[in-house]
Amino acid sequence: MEARRRFPPPSSTSPSSAATLRSPPAAPRSSGDRIQASDALPIPIRHTNLLFSLIFVCSIVFLMRRWRDKVRESIPLHAVDLSEIVSIISVVASLIYLISFFGIAIVQSIVSSHEDEVDDFLPDSKMTPSPAPSPDLAAPVLAGREDEDIIAAVVAGKTPSYALESAIGDCHRAAEIRREAIRRISGRGLDGLPLEGFDYGSILGQCCEMPVGYVQLPVGIAGPLILDGREYYLPMATTEGCLVASTNRGCKAIAESGGAASVVLRDAMTRAPVVRFLTAARAAELKFFLEEPANFDTLSVIFNRSSRFARLQDIQCALVGRNLYMRFSCTTGDAMGMNMVSKGVQNVLDYIQNDFPDMDVISLSGNFCSDKKPAAVNWILGRGKSVVCEAVIKEEVVKKVLKTSVSALVELNTIKNLAGSAIAGALGGFNAHASNIVSAIFIATGQDPAQNVESSHCITMMEAVNDGKDLHISVTMPSIEVGTVGGGTQLASQSACLDLLGVKGACMESPGANARLLAAIVAGSVLAGELSLMSALAAGQLVKSHMKYNRSCKDVSKAASN
């Protein structure tokens, strides 16, 4: 989802006035603009904070010493001179500043609710339309009517299908009525699509709109995967035969060789809005402003106020003509974080608008992020969790479990995964089938399946070690985008799979730890999958295995009729 909002340039800015465009606007803020505590002095915010902190400490020390001397000399404390008056005023003024600057962020972090962190976008402070009632809070108006009457109204277009949940007050009944209305409108039934046995209230307003049933998808278990000294059983939702079995064989080879190890290199979700100015020179001014280290403290405070867990890490800018793309990176706790970072970016854009009123916000997302698309920026800089996972597979395990040799695997990896992908012009696709494992685990654990695109970026490396006897294998995945709270992770089935991995929900002791562990598990699973498939290819077993395990002898048509 992307938002587009335009801000008209102020009347005082003339396109023909190059001098005006090249210099920062000096016009004072209007009375309606929000005044920040950091606006107290026209110097960098870190210097302002240090100055007021020193004033506060020095004033307190002076007053304490002065009052101690008065007590010793039996002088009344209320008899103050000019220096004491100045010190008292300094204490009050500095205290007001420090509370205004630091206290607001603390209070906001306390009162921020989890629901605030999963909203799509921060509402525009300049536009406050009356919010539409939430579907689960609206008073039912059709609850007492017969199903047939409601179906007829939907078919006739008198009752919108999307409003059934709020109009009826029963999510299951709404799905049943919508399903029948679709059958009558389209003339086609949905007999093979199950309706019963699903909690439709659990997806209302967060996962899926206008449901008519659910799709059954088998979940297999591979493992145990020995990763960083712990065992993990991997839930994989897939309809591809041999995938779970192949991953399981890779896990066995890793376990018999002592296990795998992982490192999370970076944790940063991104969002990149695009703004436009009247000239490229003016756009460059904002670029230089954002890249100035002295301004980062201010922007990070503004950004971080949007959530208890969002913490801005850096801002990278790219200028294309008079269009400026700003790639914000931030940590997001245990949430995948797309909505969280979007809210923080919106806060920063609103703040910047005060000093750059001629900035035209084209879109909250300018594709420099880049989300759900293969992009070199994610392959090079990373997005979400950047993970490396490695293992040393013993020679005897390669021969006994994987049915091949170390030299054959190393040669195949070079020719297939490296050279073959290179001549294909692959972008992040220097692997055998990383997306297979990523997709299966994503669906099982309630991740966004579309983010498999960049999450499957992976380069698989193999080399002979220990005098050529053993195999060192590693996978480097720079943009695994996962979360353990929010979205589909809250559904019962997906929550159970997360619980199986030991990463369900948020980590209270160390926010973000569960999401990082899940990313490491995904990388470890890919390592197992790569090891097994490459071995099957090296040994010439791929077709034979699929013919044996991926072809059903069961007469499906007869089974369906029973």
Residues recognised as catalytic: 240, 372, 448, 546
Count of Cβ atoms closer than 10 Å to residue 78 Cβ:
6
Asked if 512 contacts 503 with a C-beta cutoff of 8 angstroms, the reply is: no
- Cα-to-chain-centroid distance, residue 452: 13
Query: For 360, which DSSP code?
Result: E
The CB-side HSE value for 131 (13 A sphere, CA atoms) comes to 7
Distance of alpha carbon 523 from alpha carbon 456, whole angstroms: 9
Residue 164's SS3 state is helix
**Strands (DSSP E) found in 365-518:** 384-393, 429-430, 458-465, 470-480
Residue 147 structure tokens: 């199903």
Query: For 474, which DSSP code?
Result: E
Distance of alpha carbon 22 from alpha carbon 477, whole angstroms: 42
Count of Cβ atoms closer than 10 Å to residue 541 Cβ:
15
**Residue given tokens 């240090």 in the structure block:** 50
Task: Give the N- to C-terminal CA distance of the chain in Å, as an integer.
Answer: 44
Residue 435's SS3 state is helix
Omega before 83 within 30 of 0, i.e. cis? no
Strand 458-465 relative to strand 429-430, pairing: parallel
Residue 178 structure tokens: 């919508």
Instruction: Please name which of 434, 475, 524 lies closest in space to residue 251, comparing C-alpha atoms.
Output: 524
Q: Cβ contacts of residue 15 below 8 Å, gap of 6+? A: 278
- Cα-to-chain-centroid distance, residue 506: 14
Asked if 119 contacts 205 with a C-beta cutoff of 8 angstroms, the reply is: no
Length of the chain counted residue by residue: 562
Distance of alpha carbon 258 from alpha carbon 156, whole angstroms: 65
Strand 219-227 relative to strand 274-276, pairing: unpaired
